[in-house]
Amino acid sequence: MNLSSFKPKIAVGVLVSAVILSSCKEQFLAETPTTGLTQQSARAAAVTEHPGRLMASNCFQCHGTNGYGMEHLAGMKVNELIGEMNEMKSKSVGADIMNVHAQAYTTDEIKLIADFFSKQ
């Protein structure tokens, strides 16, 4: 499989996601966690309203809808997910398809994706 043919498609998908989320990203990062919700209500709110959801949807092909797939991301700790994404981001593009994905995201976008998956 030639990964170079995926680069433009991935970049376009990530760019579209970034443009859509740019208006709500700063607001989300500045907000404090919601209190007083049941765990089920909090999960439902995270799935429907979380600004990282759209970006995380790019992961469904391997990691499944909302992180329940081949390699589960759902429920992982935010710092663990951020660390793994940053590690992949630092590697060369040709080494793995995940390196291509990771390099397409900014630090704030990685935080949004990690936060979304941690709440699933």
Q: For 17-60, write each residue's pLDDT tens digit.
A: 554 445 444 444 444 454 555 666 666 655 567 888 888 888 88
For residue 106, what pLDDT band results from cuts at 50, 70 and 90? very high
For residue 66, what pLDDT band results from cuts at 50, 70 and 90? confident
Contact between 63 and 70 (Cβ < 8 Å):
yes
What pLDDT sits at residue 65? 82
**pLDDT tens, residue by residue, 74-93:** 999 999 999 999 999 988 77
Q: In order of start, what are the domains of the chain with their CATH numbers?
A: 38-120 (1.10.760.10)
Is pTM beyond 0.85? Reply is: no
Cα–Cα distances in angstroms (integers) from residue 62 to residues 42, 76, 107, in the given order: 25, 16, 22
